[in-house]
Amino acid sequence: TLEKAKAELEALGAQVIYFTADGAEEDAVNSVVAQTIEKYGRIDVLINNAQASKSGLMLEEHTKKDFDLAINSGLYATFFYMKACFPHLKETKGVIINFASGAGLNGRLGQSSYAAAKEGIRGMTRVAANEWGQYGINVNAIAPGYMDTEMSKDLQQMEQGKQLTKRIPMGRWGHPEDLMGTVVFLASSASDYISGVTLPVDGGHLAS
């Protein structure tokens, strides 16, 4: 997957390097950031979008191991990358875009560990916006709604998924492409005076 993405981006003229690292391990994250600085000399935008979780379990069915999976892959990884990139983003007056989720905003069934991680990220986004605004760093979050991905294919075909579709005013699940404009906007100078917000991209689901 990484090789494919690298090839597609390089075909567009971009320079690309990638690393595989456990975001829950601070030393691994620090190494990724150090190698990025060694290669490019600066960091302008940090996007935290990694998250794993065990879906479909009611809260009382979760184990500590289930919660650790969600918190380590999402909340800790976001924290470590923000912390490691902070001194470099100070120099560039850069941007941080974290990924939260509608799961926490609307209390999605069977998503307690996932929602806990994402709501932690949303809270940390607001605090960082307050603390780092003085350095010219913008910190925002995006909260996708139900997205049409490989992970959600089975759910979409189930009766539960069909009922969810009916609750989305735009009548469909989102596509990854629906997030692109929001990411570009938050990464660009067009959003220079926006910080500390969580922007839902959900086809109007929260409004319903």
Bridge partners (DSSP) of residue 138 are 95
Q: Is 116 helix (H, G, I), strand (E, B) or coil?
A: helix
What does the alpha-carbon distance between residue 86 and residue 193 come to, in Å, rounded to a whole number? 19
Helix, strand, coil percent values for the chain (each to nearest 5) = 55, 10, 35
Tokens 């150090």 belong to which residue?
Answer: 34
Q: Return the structure tokens found at 170.
A: 């735009």
What does the alpha-carbon distance between residue 84 and residue 31 come to, in Å, rounded to a whole number? 9
Q: Return the structure tokens found at 27.
A: 């030393």
Active site residues per annotation: 114
- Of 132, 134, 107, give the one whose Cα is nearest residue 118: 107
What does the alpha-carbon distance between residue 96 and residue 23 come to, in Å, rounded to a whole number? 16
HSE of 55, CA atoms in CB hemisphere, 13 A: 9
What does the alpha-carbon distance between residue 167 and residue 98 come to, in Å, rounded to a whole number? 26
Q: How far apart are the first and last CA of the chain?
A: 35
